[in-house]
Chains A and B, each alone.
Chain A
């Protein structure tokens, strides 16, 4: 008995991992799965229901929806969802970004069937009960209080608010004037408009494709979604004077949409300029930004200048995120700009380029190592483009970026209308038109 067990284990290890399978159901739902024989299955439901799809009347509804995922549904009460998941050791979490809402469920492989019922209920049939929603209010306030404490979050939200006219300018958090005013009607309307099968993708790791397809068939929805406006970049400036000794400044221009070749060029440029130390407590030698700034100011600046890049389905942002002492903010920001301008003028060695490309490829591949990273990558790819590009394809397209592309990307940053958001003690911080 013991001998046969050993044999079956080694058999399993020589079985090839299945490839990614992607299919589209008649209801419009995209189903993808990767059977990696893991003892834990991970299922994600990706919905195009991020904060960009909020309208002026229901700003903040995605924040509430994010918190409301464990509330009573038509098939199971909140209590039952909680206890049912606990009983098998599963966990359900919700993440939302500007574009997507992601519900991800981890469960042991054998209990897959049972726990799917909860996930389906949560994503297709929530019962927005008014008293449960008013009980959510303290959680909304806690979320906002935590976000207010963090300058990084503040500066990112303000950047998006300043950079876009609509859609992507919506904050991930509920605005103050809407706290307590999001009603059941808002939620139901948003739900009906956005949680349609055509806007969802169901991704499974550690499950067979047939099992995921069967679950996907229960996701039919008769609603038709409303269209969403494209994001319009405007370039602006938002400054938040909050005192303290540091200044967080984020300076960006419109970048490229996700998946385009230009996006790869921007990512390589980002790595070239530096994204933080690769060696813990190291002196960040490979980062052009850090080195440039170290020459410009003798004052110790606490953290870093890192290049910032965000990509969305129809637009993107690229720029520099600088944290510096309040008095030297002007010098530091100018030094960071000078570095990017240097790249735009072509001072880019082949060695720098290969190093940046290798770093980018390594970061990408390493993010796929964890199951969360892999699930997120699969889900976002499948939902945006309907197919999945294997890591080899992605690394090849990164490799194909030439130094002329990178120089062009840097030029775009230097020449285009910039957006800036800063947070901190702003006496010595330049305005965007002074840069």
Chain B
């Protein structure tokens, strides 16, 4: 599962993180961070729980990115996802799914 280092929001790190975000390059396809997450069982369950609107937006972005990748193109610079606009929409659902799974495992141990 995707494990990101817990981000401490400090003013020193923001510049670095912006640079890293742009260096990753997925924003050139118009994707957000949570669109690129590796889909294991937890993530699949979290995606199932997304509200309809958010889910449709995600699907659109993925389709657009796949289309661009097939054509070997990227979006024009003004349409790239900006660091500030990137919403970690999946994170709350994913956390909840992981908590529930851990709870089940705890019970099973007893």
Complex Cα distance, B104 from A403, in Å, reads: 64
Identity of the chain A residue whose Cβ is nearest the Cβ of B51 in the assembled complex: A130
Complex Cα distance, B103 from A80, in Å, reads: 8
**Is residue A79 within 8 Å, beta carbon to beta carbon, of the partner chain?**
yes
Q: Are B48 and A77 in touch, CB under 8 angstroms?
A: no
**Is residue A83 within 8 Å, beta carbon to beta carbon, of the partner chain?**
yes
Interface residues of B in 92-109 (CB under 8 A from A): 100, 103-104, 107
Interface residues of B in 70-110 (CB under 8 A from A): 100, 103-104, 107
Identity of the chain A residue whose Cβ is nearest the Cβ of B108 in the assembled complex: A83
Complex Cα distance, B101 from A80, in Å, reads: 11
Enumerate chain A residues within 8 angstroms of B103, measured Cβ to Cβ: 77, 79-80
Enumerate chain B residues within 8 angstroms of A1, measured Cβ to Cβ: none
Complex Cα distance, B100 from A79, in Å, reads: 8
Enumerate chain A residues within 8 angstroms of B51, measured Cβ to Cβ: 130
Enumerate chain A residues within 8 angstroms of B49, measured Cβ to Cβ: 129-131
Enumerate chain B residues within 8 angstroms of A77, measured Cβ to Cβ: 100, 103
Q: Are A79 and B104 in touch, CB under 8 angstroms?
A: yes
Q: Are A83 and B100 in touch, CB under 8 angstroms?
A: no
- State the Cβ distance, B104 to closest chain A Cβ, in Å: 6
Enumerate chain B residues within 8 angstroms of A80, measured Cβ to Cβ: 103, 107
Identity of the chain A residue whose Cβ is nearest the Cβ of B50 in the assembled complex: A131
Task: Bits for B34-76, please: 1 = Cβ < 8 Å to A, else 0.
Answer: 0000000000000011010000000000000000000000000
Enumerate chain B residues within 8 angstroms of A79, measured Cβ to Cβ: 100, 103-104, 107
Enumerate chain A residues within 8 angstroms of B107, measured Cβ to Cβ: 79-80, 83
- State the Cβ distance, A183 to closest chain B Cβ, in Å: 11
Complex Cα distance, B104 from A129, in Å, reads: 19
Interface size on B, residues (CB 8 A): 7
- State the Cβ distance, B53 to closest chain A Cβ, in Å: 12
- State the Cβ distance, A134 to closest chain B Cβ, in Å: 10
Interface residues of A in 115-163 (CB under 8 A from B): 129-131
Complex Cα distance, B96 from A129, in Å, reads: 12
Identity of the chain A residue whose Cβ is nearest the Cβ of B48 in the assembled complex: A131
Complex Cα distance, B51 from A130, in Å, reads: 8
Enumerate chain A residues within 8 angstroms of B48, measured Cβ to Cβ: 131
Enumerate chain B residues within 8 angstroms of A83, measured Cβ to Cβ: 107
Complex Cα distance, B48 from A83, in Å, reads: 24
Complex Cα distance, B48 from A130, in Å, reads: 11
- State the Cβ distance, A139 to closest chain B Cβ, in Å: 19
- State the Cβ distance, A181 to closest chain B Cβ, in Å: 14
Identity of the chain A residue whose Cβ is nearest the Cβ of B45 in the assembled complex: A131
Complex Cα distance, B4 from A336, in Å, reads: 77
Enumerate chain B residues within 8 angstroms of A131, measured Cβ to Cβ: 48-49
Task: Bits for B6-24, please: 1 = Cβ < 8 Å to A, else 0.
Answer: 0000000000000000000
- State the Cβ distance, A263 to closest chain B Cβ, in Å: 49
Complex Cα distance, B35 from A279, in Å, reads: 71
Enumerate chain B residues within 8 angstroms of A129, measured Cβ to Cβ: 49
- State the Cβ distance, B8 to closest chain A Cβ, in Å: 29
Enumerate chain A residues within 8 angstroms of B104, measured Cβ to Cβ: 79
Complex Cα distance, B105 from A80, in Å, reads: 12
Identity of the chain A residue whose Cβ is nearest the Cβ of B52 in the assembled complex: A130
Interface residues of A in 93-131 (CB under 8 A from B): 129-131
Complex Cα distance, B46 from A129, in Å, reads: 13
Complex Cα distance, B51 from A129, in Å, reads: 11
Complex Cα distance, B104 from A36, in Å, reads: 37
- State the Cβ distance, A132 to closest chain B Cβ, in Å: 9
Complex Cα distance, B49 from A80, in Å, reads: 20
Complex Cα distance, B103 from A287, in Å, reads: 59
Identity of the chain A residue whose Cβ is nearest the Cβ of B110 in the assembled complex: A87
Complex Cα distance, B49 from A77, in Å, reads: 16
Enumerate chain A residues within 8 angstroms of B100, measured Cβ to Cβ: 77, 79
Interface residues of A in 350-395 (CB under 8 A from B): none
Complex Cα distance, B110 from A80, in Å, reads: 13
> A-B pairs with the 9 shortest C-beta distances?
A131-B49, A83-B107, A77-B100, A79-B104, A79-B103, A77-B103, A80-B103, A79-B100, A131-B48
Query: Which residues from chain A sit less than 8 Å from chain B, CB to CB?
Result: 77, 79-80, 83, 129-131
14 contacts between A and B (CB under 8 A): A77-B100, A77-B103, A79-B100, A79-B103, A79-B104, A79-B107, A80-B103, A80-B107, A83-B107, A129-B49, A130-B49, A130-B51, A131-B48, A131-B49
Query: Which residues from chain B sit less than 8 Å from chain A, CB to CB?
Result: 48-49, 51, 100, 103-104, 107
Q: With contacts A79-B100, A79-B104, A130-B51 known, what are 11 further pairs, Cβ within 8 A? A: A77-B100, A77-B103, A79-B103, A79-B107, A80-B103, A80-B107, A83-B107, A129-B49, A130-B49, A131-B48, A131-B49
